[in-house]
């Protein structure tokens, strides 16, 4: 500001008398001038304060980055020292011993000891009431083991508790004789009876009553006989994929941008280090990158496409497990066990891990189907409507169990009528 203007403004601000009362125009002019100068000075003061705040934040962030870099350099130096101290023959001996133990069955004993670290939840008896009598007596369904798979956004690892909406809901159906495995995503925004006649988005069931209520919801609405579940958080999926050596996926430019954004979020939420993707195309993804891919829901296809991405990542991860050597497999198991909650007991988990090489995913789909769904706002929430629920349940049983002539239970019929009333 020019010096003479500053002097003029200071003089105006220091004036005590604004003029004679009868000279109103002069009075108003001086009053407005003083108020304008005060507002401008206040605005300049705020701008200066904001500028100083930005400078402080830049300095703070730079110091934080420098501190992080120094810490990383320290870890690298410590790792290099340990590597130098580790004799090559000793490393070879350890690896050889693990392979021998695995081949001789000792690996199984070690695996069994790891399984005792799982967060185990017993549910079977409490879920029997949610299974319709018609379903319990179904001879075809007795040939399959159906497991609910849940993925939750849990920072505290309270995986089996409520207060976690399940971002991922899948039914994994395994043919007991052939090992043939099928995956069906139940879209999280699907309007269903989550318990007690309350119709809401189905992912709310997990938030209200954990896996017990979420499984009961699947049984009652879809004529299922599920009594077992596996729940995994973000970190569990990422660590498992890393232990298996990553997965290969074709990534579009739009997906790449969302993945980088999600990875940044997870860095701040969980402290997970990541590497940004710089170009689209075929990529070898780390665990955190693959997890970010699973979270994308804002491209074409919305949540339906996200559920497809989740099934794709799960299928590729199972393929890597089938080809994994004993060391990789034990490492993967060790990584995920502390970050999962399940109703499967030790021997059942061992059976699945050891049988992984023989399991083939032959079907991957979603519920409700594109041909038999619509959308509606229910209780202020935008929901996916299985229109009709009975048709979708028939299609589900045909997909999972080859029951082309399946007739839904009266519970499904009743829920069908209530759900359809929201769109009529």
**DSSP-H helix ranges across 190-301:** 204-222, 234-243, 253-270, 287-295
| Co-location of 291 and 385 in the same domain | yes
Q: How confident is the model at residue 7 (pLDDT cuts 50, 70, 90)?
A: low
Looking at the structure, do residues 261 and 346 belong to the same domain, yes or no?
A: yes
Q: Are residues 144 and 19 in the same domain?
A: no
> Do both 36 and 147 map to the same domain?
no
Tell me: do 20 and 128 sit in the same domain.
no
Residue 33 lies in a domain: yes
Q: Is residue 182 located within the same domain as residue 306?
A: yes
What's the Cα-to-Cα distance from 257 to each of 199, 217, 266, 268, 338, rounded to whole Å?
36, 35, 15, 17, 31
Same domain, 173 and 309: yes
Taking the whole predicted model, whether its pTM rises above 0.75 is answered as no
The answer to whether residue 220 scores a pLDDT higher than 70 is: yes
Angle, vertex CA 252, rays to CA 246 and CA 258, nearest 5: 80
* pLDDT, averaged across the chain: 80
pLDDT at residue 20, as a whole number: 47
In a domain, 240, yes or no: yes
The answer to which of 109-113, 301-305, 410-414 has the lowest mean pLDDT is 109-113
Residues 25 and 172 in one domain: no
Do the domain assignments include residue 316?
yes
What domain count does the chain have? Answer: 2
CA 256 to chain centre: 17
Q: Are residues 368 and 344 in contact, defined by beta-carbon separation less than 8 angstroms?
A: no
DSSP class of residue 195 equals: S
**The pLDDT value given to residue 390:** 97
User: Is 76 a domain residue?
Assistant: no
The sign of the dihedral angle between the CA atoms of 346, 327, 311, 256 is positive
In terms of domains, do 29 and 123 share one?
Answer: no
Asked if the model's pLDDT at residue 273 lies above 50, the reply is: yes
Handedness of CA 76, 80, 85, 88 (dihedral sign): positive
User: Is 286 part of any domain?
Assistant: yes
CATH number at 298 reads 3.40.630.190
Distance of CA 131 to the CA centre of its chain: 28
Question: Which residues make Cβ contacts (< 8 Å) with residue 350, sequence separation at least 6?
Answer: 108, 111, 112, 115
Asked whether residue 127 falls in the same domain as residue 19, the answer is: no
Measured distance CA(226)–CA(409) in Å, rounded: 16
Residue spans of alpha helices (H) in 247-366: 253-270, 287-295, 302-323, 326-337, 346-354
Range of the domain at 146: 116-424
Q: Please indicate, yes or no, whether residues 152 and 273 belong to a single structural domain of this protein.
A: yes
Give the lowest-confidence range in 85-99, 135-149, 264-278. 85-99
Q: Answer whether residue 65 is part of any domain.
A: no
- Domain contains 325: yes
Shared domain for 162 and 298, answered yes or no, is yes
Give the model confidence (pLDDT) of 343-391 as tens digits: 887 667 767 766 666 677 888 899 999 999 999 999 889 999 999 999 9
Which DSSP category does 137 fall into? Answer: T
**Is 184 contained in some domain?**
yes
Other beta carbons less than 10 A from residue 35's beta carbon: 10
Cβ proximity of 169 and 214 under 8 Å? yes
């Amino acid at each position: 500001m020019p010096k003479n203007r500053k002097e003029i403004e200071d003089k105006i601000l220091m004036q005590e008398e604004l003029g004679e009362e009868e000279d109103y125009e002069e009075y108003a002019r001086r009053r407005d001038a003083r108020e304008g100068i005060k507002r401008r000075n206040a605005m300049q003061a705020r701008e200066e304060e904001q500028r100083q705040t930005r400078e402080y934040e830049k300095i703070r962030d730079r110091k934080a980055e420098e501190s992080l870099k120094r810490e990383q350099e320290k870890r690298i130096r410590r790792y290099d020292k340990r590597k130098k101290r580790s004799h090559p023959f000793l490393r070879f001996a350890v690896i050889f011993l693990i392979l021998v133990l695995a081949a001789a069955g000792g690996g199984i004993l070690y695996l069994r000891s790891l399984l005792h670290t799982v967060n185990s939840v017993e549910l079977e008896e409490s879920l029997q009431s949610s299974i319709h009598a018609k379903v319990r007596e179904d001879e075809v369904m007795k040939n399959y083991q159906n497991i609910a798979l849940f993925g939750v956004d849990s920072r505290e690892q309270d995986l089996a508790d409520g207060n976690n909406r399940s971002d991922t809901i899948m039914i994994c159906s395994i043919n007991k004789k052939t090992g043939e495995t099928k995956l069906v995503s139940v879209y999280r925004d699907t309007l269903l009876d989550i318990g007690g006649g309350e119709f809401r988005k189905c992912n709310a069931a997990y938030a209200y009553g954990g896996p017990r209520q979420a499984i009961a919801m699947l049984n009652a609405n879809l004529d299922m006989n599920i009594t077992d579940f596996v729940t995994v958080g973000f970190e569990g999926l990422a660590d498992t994929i890393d232990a298996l050596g990553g997965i290969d996926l074709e990534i579009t430019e739009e997906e790449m941008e969302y993945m980088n954004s999600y990875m940044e979020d997870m860095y701040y939420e969980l402290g997970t280090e990541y590497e940004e993707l710089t170009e689209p195309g075929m990529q070898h993804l780390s665990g955190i990158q693959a997890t970010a891919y699973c979270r994308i829901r804002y491209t074409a296809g919305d949540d339906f496409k996200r559920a497809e991405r989740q099934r794709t990542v799960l299928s590729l991860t199972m393929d890597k497990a089938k080809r994994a050597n004993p060391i990789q497999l034990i490492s993967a198991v060790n990584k995920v066990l502390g970050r999962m909650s399940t109703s499967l007991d030790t021997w059942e988990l061992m059976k699945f891990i050891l049988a992984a090489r023989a399991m083939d995913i032959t079907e991957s789909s979603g519920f409700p189907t594109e041909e038999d769904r619509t959308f509606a706002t229910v209780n202020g929430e935008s929901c996916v409507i299985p229109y009709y629920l009975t048709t979708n349940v028939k299609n589900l049983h045909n997909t999972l169990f080859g029951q082309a002539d399946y007739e839904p239970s009266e519970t499904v019929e009743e829920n069908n009528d209530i759900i359809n009333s929201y769109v009529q």
